[in-house]
Amino acid sequence: MKTLFRLLPSVDKLLQEFSKRKELVHISQPLQREQINRFLDLCRQEIKDSVVTDPEDLGWEKIAARAASFVRSQSRPHFRRVINGTGVVVHTNLGRSILADAVVDAVSDACRYYSNLEFNLETGKRGIRYAHVEELLCKLTGAEAALVVNNNAAAVLLILDTWAKGKEAIVSRGELVEIGGSFRIPDVMAKSGATLKEVGATNRTHVRDYEQAITENTAVLMRVHTSNYRIIGFHKAVSQEDLVALGNKHALPVIEDMGSGNFFDFSAYNMMPEPTVQKTVAAGLDIISFSGDKLLGGPQAGIIIGKKKYIDPIKTNQMNRAMRIDKMTLAALEATLRLYLDPELARKSVPTLAMITADVRFLRAKAGRIKKRIAAHFSSNMSVTLLPGVSRVGGGAFPEQDIQTTLVGIKNTLCTADELKTVLLATDPPLVGRIENDYFCLDPRTINDKEIPLVVDVLEQAINGLG
Ligand SMILES: *Cc1c(COP(=O)(O)O)cnc(C)c1O
Three-state DSSP at 171 gives strand
Looking at residue 180, what is its pLDDT?
Answer: 63
> Is residue 217 domain-shared with residue 162, that is, in the same domain?
yes
> Is residue 128 domain-shared with residue 262, that is, in the same domain?
yes
Task: Please indicate whether residue 183, judged by its CB atom, sits closer than 6 Å to ligand 1.
Answer: yes
> Is residue 294 domain-shared with residue 166, that is, in the same domain?
yes
> Residue 120: which CATH number?
3.40.640.10
Q: What is the mean pLDDT of the chain?
A: 93
Which amino acid is located at 407 in the chain?
Answer: L
Average pLDDT over residues 272-293: 95
- In the listed set 349, 384, 417, which residue is the last one of a domain according to the structure? 349
List phi, psi (to 5°) of 143.
-80, 165
Quote the ligand 1 centre to 292 CA distance (angstroms): 10
pTM for the predicted model, two decimal places:
0.92
438: left (phi over 0), alpha (psi -120 to 50) or beta: left
54 vs 398, residue with greater confidence: 54
> Is residue 335 domain-shared with residue 386, that is, in the same domain?
no
Q: Is the pLDDT of residue 460 over 90?
A: yes
> Is residue 315 domain-shared with residue 429, that is, in the same domain?
no
Looking at residue 443, what is its pLDDT?
Answer: 98
User: Strand pairing partners for 435?
Assistant: 440
Looking at residue 360, what is its pLDDT?
Answer: 96
Task: Please indicate whether residue 152, judged by its CB atom, sits closer than 6 Å to ligand 1.
Answer: yes
> Is residue 375 domain-shared with residue 338, that is, in the same domain?
no
Which amino acid is located at 417 in the chain?
Answer: A
Average pLDDT over residues 18-45: 93
Choosing from 226, 229, 257 the residue with most ligand 1 atoms within 8 A of its CB, the one to mutate for a pocket test is: 257
Q: Is the pLDDT of residue 232 over 80?
A: no
> Is residue 22 domain-shared with residue 169, that is, in the same domain?
no
List phi, psi (to 5°) of 105.
-60, -40
> What's the number of domains the chain is made of?
3
> Is residue 368 domain-shared with residue 332, that is, in the same domain?
no
The residue whose CA is least distant from atom 2 of ligand 1 is 259
> Is residue 314 domain-shared with residue 367, that is, in the same domain?
no
Give the pLDDT band (50/70/90) at residue 181.
low
- In the listed set 23, 39, 74, which residue is the last one of a domain according to the structure? 74
Domain that holds residue 422: 83-93+356-466
Distance between terminal CA atoms of the chain? 26
The residue whose CA is least distant from atom 12 of ligand 1 is 259
Looking at residue 444, what is its pLDDT?
Answer: 98
> Residue 449: which CATH number?
3.90.1150.110
- In the listed set 309, 329, 349, which residue is the last one of a domain according to the structure? 349
> Is residue 182 domain-shared with residue 322, that is, in the same domain?
yes
Give the distance, in angstroms, between the CA of residue 173 and the centroid of all CA atoms in the same chain.
28
Q: Which atom of ligand 1 is nearest to the CA of 225?
A: 13
Quote the ligand 1 centre to 259 CA distance (angstroms): 5
Give the pLDDT band (50/70/90) at residue 234.
confident
Task: Please indicate whether residue 150, judged by its CB atom, sits closer than 6 Å to ligand 1.
Answer: no
> Is residue 245 domain-shared with residue 365, that is, in the same domain?
no
Strand 195-199 and strand 218-224: pairing?
Answer: unpaired
Q: Is the pLDDT of residue 231 over 80?
A: no
Quote the ligand 1 centre to 389 CA distance (angstroms): 28
The closest of 287, 300, 288 to 329, measured between CA atoms, is: 300
User: Strand pairing partners for 290?
Assistant: 259, 303
> Is residue 271 domain-shared with residue 369, that is, in the same domain?
no
